[in-house]
Structure 1
């Protein structure tokens, strides 16, 4: 897992990447139903979509109210997550020490 965390740190240096950690301490959150991806397309001819994963695989949603709901969920969890700098700091702590040793230190460094 250490290599994966190091890779995440590298990726955060890219201009088109924003990484934020949603700590377990946040508790229940709006995206607990499952993973989803919002697909934005620059062309007016290509409507925006949401891909929502579920037990059967997933489905594409394209109604305006569905997309709006998922954008609100995304904004809610992004607001509850650590900011990008604090997320990088937490990853750096986890790279140096296993999770069971650094859980307390990671929360203190933020």
Structure 2
């Protein structure tokens, strides 16, 4: 299966799961937030290195203060998926993504 087809299947699976959940939880609202963090893991530029990532404190604070009630996140442009899990997600949260051979690939993370 091609790379783009795998991404399509991944996104479609998540969308189906979210829609299924929403249909069964009629009394509650489900909030879905997309968050583009430009070149996360490289400090905002593809020319940088992982050591240049300086935004963790500000992003974590923003998520805690402004987006705490979100049920599902979609993060874009995530180069360092492990760093996102370790440095940005609140306790008890988890996320999923996919593998890519390029170390500077920008992932979508749910």
TM-score by length of 1: 0.27
Which has the larger Rg? 1
* Structure number with higher helix proportion: 1
TM-score by length of 2: 0.27
